Amino acid sequence: MTDIIIRKVGKAGHITLNRPKALNALTWDMCLNIEKALDTWRDDPAVAIVIMDGAGDRAFCSGGDIAEMYATAKQGDYDYGQRFWRDEYRLNAKIAEFPKPVISFLQGFTMGGGVGVGCHASHRIVCDSSRIAMPECSIGLVPDVGGSLLLARAPGYCGEFLGLTGDRMDAGDAIYAGFADHFIPESDWDTLKTTLAQTGDVEAVKTAAAPAPASRLHTWQAEIDAVFCGTTLGEIYAAMPDLPGPAITHARKLMDRNAPLAMAVATQIIKSVRLDPRIRTALNHEFRYTYRSAEQGDFIEGIRAAIIDRDRNPQWQHKTWQDVPKTETSRMTAPLGDNALQWEEDR
């Protein structure tokens, strides 16, 4: 069984992530094949729109397949992960900048690398099962794949809240935060895909859309803004009240599990991207950290605890936010010079 199914159906280019047992986790080859398809369809007059979906009902895409990054980095090979991210980020930019409508169907889990593929589409569809998140800080990474752009654009300081906690959004939250556009019951998806392929008319998405569900984030907005407006991770923690409401109680529980260095850098990246909210700006900032994350950060320890030993007990190099010196965040976010992210294929 192939990991990805790419075909033309009527007036649509159709990409299906096809690893349902692995929750459609994204491999390096899948990234390259998606990019190749988009490059082919960009100038193909027979392709009016692109449809992206995932096999099975549990996930559109649960993230990147990071086991190989762990294996190679443990052997001192950091180049593998760096090259993977270069290619993945180039794909993220191409999806965001694609000149034809891209419609993504985001059932179940859409996390990490899945956000990079699905949430930069021009028309992002969610349903009752949708759970969208950027949980990278829980494995010593920062919200990447262009996720910092989505976080920077979220209402108020929801971006900092979502990026530092990795909190999972349901359909209503995802639409409110700007990670999705339309709520359509999953039972209607096959009919919609058929209509899109037959007509090539993306207006069919709006016609099929139902009212968005209520958003928990919306009700928490004032509480989130009062704390997450801080310019540094330290300021955010310092603003947490002694008797917090539900939003900050929830946030503190999640943040206490995450890598302090990653959260400190994520705060800085989100605020930097908010000043220049473009996809390539976001990816450039993110790559400065991810390029260094295996050798100098907590990424390898985070993977070990999450998917290798599965003890859920990572030993971060900094125990609390108070232990992260500014020199560390500066080191992890400094320009990369000749190693900076490039936008041309390098393989």
In a domain, residue 317? The reply is yes
CA gap 279, 146 in Å, rounded = 6
Question: What backbone phi and psi angles, to 5 degrees, belong to 167?
Answer: -60, 145
In a domain, residue 271? The reply is yes
In a domain, residue 314? The reply is yes
Question: What backbone phi and psi angles, to 5 degrees, belong to 53?
Answer: -145, 180
271: its two tokens: 């605020």
In a domain, residue 344? The reply is no
In a domain, residue 305? The reply is yes
Return the closest-CA partner of residue 227 out of 209, 212, 205, 246: 246
Predicted pLDDT of residue 342: 85
CATH number at residue 287: 3.90.226.10
The order of strands in the sheet holding 49-54 is: 4-9, 12-17, 49-54, 102-106, 123-126, 182-183
Q: For residue 68, give its domain range.
A: 4-339
CA gap 260, 31 in Å, rounded = 30
Predicted pLDDT of residue 347: 45
In a domain, residue 321? The reply is yes
In a domain, residue 38? The reply is yes
**Model confidence, pTM:** 0.96
In a domain, residue 347? The reply is no
Show Cβ contacts of residue 264 under 8 Å, excluding neighbours closer than 6 positions.
232, 233, 234, 321, 324, 328, 329
Burial class of residue 102 in the structure, from the number of CB atoms within 10 Å of its CB (0-12 exposed, 13-18 middle, 19+ buried)? buried
pLDDT per residue rounded down to tens, the chain (347 residues):
699 999 999 999 999 999 999 999 999 999 999 999 999 999 999 999 999 999 999 999 999 888 888 899 989 899 999 999 999 999 999 999 999 999 999 999 999 999 999 999 999 999 999 999 999 999 999 999 999 999 999 999 999 999 999 999 999 999 999 999 999 999 999 999 999 999 999 999 999 999 999 999 999 999 999 999 999 999 999 999 999 999 999 999 999 999 999 999 999 999 999 999 999 999 999 999 999 999 999 999 999 999 899 999 999 999 888 889 999 999 999 999 999 998 776 54
CA gap 147, 163 in Å, rounded = 9
Count structural domains, the chain. Answer: 1
* Cβ contact 123:12 at 8 Å: no
Inter-helix orientation angle 279-296/326-333, to 10°: 120
